[in-house]
Amino acid sequence: MNQKIKSVSLASIMVLSVMSSLLIASVSVSASTVVITEAIQIVDGGTSSDQQAAVGSDSSGNVHVVWTRNNLHLYYSMISPRGETLIDATQITNSGLHKIWHPDLVVDEYDRIHVVWADKAGQHAIMYTALSPWAAPMDGMASDDGTITAIDDSIISRRSQNRDWPALDIDSQNNVHIVWQDNYDELGRFFNQPQIYYSMIQPDIGSGAIVTLFDDTLLTPIIGHKGHPDVVVDANDYVQIAWDDTRGGKVELAFIVDTSGSMYSEWADICTVIYGGNFASGPYFQGIKPMLEEGNMTVYETIYGLGNTLPGAASSGNCQGYNKNTGPRTTPLGQTPGDDSGGIRKLPGTIYNGNTYSGYSGEDWGPGSNWACLSWKDSAGNVPGNPPTQSDHRWNPNATKIVIPVSDEGPKDGDPSQQADDKAAIQEAHDNCLLAGVIPVGLYGQGYGGAGNIQSHFMDLVQCPNGIVSTQTRNCPGNTLANTDAGGQAY
């Protein structure tokens, strides 16, 4: 759907067969019958962008719809079984600055409407409200938040890191069960990769408040990427939850590593981070690859050193035995049993401004990340991609793809950072990684003039550029490619 969405429409589709996905009316039909009503326009938003609708029905067959308007507020409408508007578009979020995403709703046995959503303004929050639309006159006109709200906007979870994609359902006692994906990682065990969290609340309609029965509870305490949960409560009040999970799957990591002299200590430790062993400072680390494999994941990895020369540290310590001293492979990893490591390789050519770029500093991690993403899907839309370099990275087609730049200096030609070409390189890489579906994850070091400049570049790449030097979580509204969250993290 494009960004010029002007209305939210509802079509009632009755399919009583294995293809059923949505039932919103009580009509007896045979398994071979499909009944489709004419589409009903819920609202004409004019120049507003109305999208991300969620729908539910009550015991009388009335249809309740919520949606976001410009991602700034949540709106609600009520439609009769005959398609008549009972309550027109009504704002149900409180006044103020919001960034509303991915609402969900459910109707309880008393025909009250329970709604959850993510608010990404500032520190991301999972929000909840309850509506009792029966207080409105139901004359086809808009109501107001104060009239139909039974429980005001309430915070279910707001902590450090990001959270999104809430879903909810209700049990036989009218308790509300809420799940969502969350990057919160109190102990730093999961590298801030999204996990699935759960909370259970008891709405107290009489007092207009909620009672928390189970607070934020981590359901997936194992490393890996989890996302997009959904929840349903069965007839026995068992809470059934489903989500995306990389466990049992495949992930490919392409490291793009600065080879300048200031990175010698980082090179000494990078193989320890990936493969395990003792850091130069002494402590032992299991290694990312062994940790992921313990999580029942197949891991492919290649470490690219920018430029034509690899540092001595790439052949010593925990890197010993991994240095191939050559360029990119011509075939993907994982095509034969046991072929799961690309080792350490040279990266002589990257991509900047759509063309091959060969910097002399070994510090072009912005164009290097761009090259890695274009190697999967190039500017012409080819998959696998064929960017204008002599050699490309050959991604495993069935793996989750992650590019990991590592540097302590600016993304194009090193320091000084925050120059026009640095920002252009990051924007180009950010956009192409999004288009390719490759997740950028950054590892930054202490740079010239302080880590803030470098960390800001990494945050611009892995989330979205915001036009200022900042180490804070980015606000990425997603209404353009440039300001859409790339889904990564920086460390």
The structural domains of the chain, ordered by start, are: 7-245 (2.115.10), 250-462 (no CATH)
Q: Which of 198, 185, 260 is nearest to 224 (CA)?
A: 185
Predicted confidence at residue 193, as pLDDT, reads 77
Whether residue 15 is predicted with pLDDT greater than 60 in this model: the reply is no
Confidence grade of residue 33 (pLDDT, cut at 50, 70, 90)? low
Mean pLDDT of the chain: 88
**Element of type H or E holding 436:** helix 420-436
Round to whole Å and give the CA distance between 17 and 12: 15
pLDDT digits (tens, 9 = 90+) for 320-344: 999 999 999 999 999 999 999 999 9
What is the model's pLDDT at position 25? 39
* pLDDT above 50: residue 393: yes
**Residue 341 pLDDT:** 96
Sign of CA dihedral 30, 31, 32, 34: positive
Confidence of residue 74 (pLDDT cuts 50, 70, 90): very high
| 3-state DSSP assignment of residue 327 | coil
Q: How far apart are CA 92 and CA 155, in angstroms?
A: 15
232, pLDDT greater than 50: yes
Task: Give the CB-side neighbour count of residue 432, counting CA atoms within 13 A.
Answer: 31
The 10s digit of each residue's pLDDT in 297-307 is: 889 999 999 99
Using the predicted structure, report yes or no on whether residue 114 has a pLDDT greater than 70: yes
What pLDDT band is residue 406 in, cutting at 50, 70 and 90?
very high
DSSP-derived secondary structure letter, 109? T
| Residue 220: Cβ-neighbour burial (10 angstroms; 0-12, 13-18, 19+) | buried
- d(CA 418, CA 212) in angstroms, rounded, equals 46
pTM of the model: 0.67
The pLDDT assigned to 36 comes to 62
Residue 166 or residue 445, greater confidence: 166
If you compute the radius of gyration of the chain from its CA atoms, what whole number of angstroms results?
Answer: 25
At 23, the pLDDT band (50, 70, 90 cuts) reads very low
Burial 47-78 (b: 16+ CB within 10 A, else e): ebbbbbbbbbbbeeebbbbbbbbbbbbbbbbb
- Please give the pLDDT value at position 297: 84
